[in-house]
Structure 1
């Protein structure tokens, strides 16, 4: 892709995206620009990935085709005010700022094409899940460019903006649910007599493998579960306990609670 991309903010999410794009050769390192307020961070990103990193974005704002806002919500308004009026008319503005709506961004960039993204932390290991929503004036080619960039560090799916709170509750917060399940399974292994390191490895790889089977087989999770659940066997004994303890309901409620909290934060 012969596009130039800039990042306002050089934190973990920005690093995950640019490292994926460079490693998968989606973007040339010399076409990636980063602005971060810490000079040490700029040196690290430049030395690690070959990108161009600066304290201040003035030198690249007017030249980039895509600008990614990768900053904390509390400084978003200040950052947008500083960038306002300095982008090319046809540049695409991408926001990964939690809770920042397209309408809020539009107040600073009334004519810009805007894509709002909800990524998650596994982007840092190339297995992230990103959902993105488009402003009404964003064209298909621009959306595809962003999808390809996000897919370089995981998977990406387009949704309507009103769905992003649900996305936050599921995939945005979901890694924490996964870590909790891995930790609990590891505890179970230790309780059954396994060493901690072995139990954690078994738990993490098992969850990873189960997820990969869902993604690669295209089968419903219920079908895959039935395939490993023999009559009167060990698995059904464990599943029975999980159902009795309300694990399924707890996970559903966790997603709903996180989604509602996301909606509340967006209204502030």
Structure 2
């Protein structure tokens, strides 16, 4: 079993990283640190990174003390998270709730998972300690108004909506239940605790790449709890919310389809690469099934090498490029085709679209309320 260990680092060097690796996770001080991610502390842009370490036991960890986790929205992203939480043992299906879906096939999958479906979004919010907001960004304002009266000071809102800031959610819930001004000092009307999470659908197979960001009214304990939850289903980084759009560009996969969604990226890029590699194999005579298997396994193996060796991807590439060989010939062909530039452009395009979604949400709210408030 792979378990993700969180390591807090500073900009000033690797000493703190080495000490924590030595004392908490791997043992061996500088040698341990160099085996995992040599020099990572000096390069890390964030305060926290997730280091994947191999656990010594296959025994699943005990469930996290989160209480009831409710999902508002029953689509692909919500289902992937729920399945990952259940598979990891972090949250049992009996401790989850979901708002009832009108899609019969989707509803059946939640039932088969063992998650109880409730009649309304308000019911989910009322009985849940953690409420996962997994609806389309343009639908979210209405959902927040619907559930506001059911969100208590003890409720933690977990938003996976692309382009919607924690401040927007805080303000929408507070306003809907009569907060604002001096009434914010009354806990009944104060803005809610919000954590923003950017997961992707590999949550389902415990191979997610996620980020978590704290809202202004959440606590460090809230952030740590949700980071632990997301580490149960893959790798997780804690980032400032200002970096969310960049995170979306690097590893986002769409959780729903429609005019208001984030473009497919992250795993979607890799799916295209696997498909293209398989097409090349078929062109050269391989059966489709064999070509797809080999392409997918190659990508998985390369990713594992990057994660477990701690070497820079360029160094790993150089190791397999023999002078005048087949690999360097292939790399040259990829450079000529602009593959690297295309990937960089794709990440940037996805990040820009995420920012556009946030601006559109703010503009819609400003038009509706006449407040003119911005992100």
Q: Spell out, residue by residue over 1:9-59, the C-alpha distance to the aligned partner (whole angstroms, 9 max, x if none).
A: 11221111111111211123222111134274445413x222221121444
CA pair 240-127 structure 1, distance change in 2 beyond 3 A:
same
CA–CA separation in structure 2 for the residues paired with 1:59 and 1:251:
43
Residue 241 of structure 1 corresponds to 333
CA–CA separation in structure 2 for the residues paired with 1:234 and 1:28:
49
DSSP-derived class of the 1:84 partner: helix
- Superposition deviation, residue 144 in structure 1: 2.0
**Aligned 8 A contact 2:72 2:98 in 1:** yes
Does 2:172 match 1:92?
no
Does 2:222 match 1:142?
yes
Residue 203 of structure 2 corresponds to 123
- Superposition deviation, residue 114 in structure 1: 0.7
CA pair 200-109 structure 1, distance change in 2 beyond 3 A:
same
DSSP-derived class of the 1:108 partner: helix
CA–CA separation in structure 1 for the residues paired with 2:198 and 2:94:
26
User: Equivalent of 2:141, from 77, 99, 110?
Assistant: 77
**Aligned 8 A contact 2:88 2:206 in 1:** no
CA–CA separation in structure 2 for the residues paired with 1:57 and 1:88:
15
Residue 322 of structure 2 corresponds to 230
Residue 25 of structure 1 corresponds to 89
CA–CA separation in structure 2 for the residues paired with 1:215 and 1:225:
14
CA–CA separation in structure 2 for the residues paired with 1:254 and 1:96:
21
CA–CA separation in structure 1 for the residues paired with 2:335 and 2:294:
22
Q: Spell out, residue by residue over 1:106-135, the C-alpha distance to the aligned partner (whole angstroms, 9 max, x if none).
A: 122342111111222322333221112111
> What pairs with 1:1-268 in structure 2 (closer than 5 Å)?
1-2=64-65, 3-38=67-102, 40=104, 41-46=106-111, 48-110=112-174, 111-172=191-252, 173-268=265-360
- Superposition deviation, residue 149 in structure 1: 2.1
- Superposition deviation, residue 60 in structure 1: 4.4
CA–CA separation in structure 1 for the residues paired with 2:351 and 2:290:
34
Q: Which moved more, 1:3-12 or 1:143-152?
A: 143-152
Q: Spell out, residue by residue over 1:206-250, the C-alpha distance to the aligned partner (whole angstroms, 9 max, x if none).
A: 011101111111111011111211222211111111122221111
| TM-score using structure 2 length | 0.67
Q: Which runs of 5+ in 2 are unaligned?
A: 1-63, 175-190, 253-264, 361-375
Q: Which moved more, 1:140-149 or 1:92-101?
A: 140-149
**Aligned 8 A contact 1:73 1:97 in 2:** yes
CA pair 43-181 structure 1, distance change in 2 beyond 3 A:
closer
DSSP-derived class of the 1:74 partner: coil
CA pair 247-60 structure 1, distance change in 2 beyond 3 A:
closer
DSSP-derived class of the 2:173 partner: coil
CA–CA separation in structure 1 for the residues paired with 2:117 and 2:160:
19
CA–CA separation in structure 2 for the residues paired with 1:108 and 1:36:
23
**Aligned 8 A contact 1:96 1:117 in 2:** yes
Q: Which runs of 5+ in 1 are unaligned?
A: none
DSSP-derived class of the 2:126 partner: coil
| TM-score using structure 1 length | 0.93
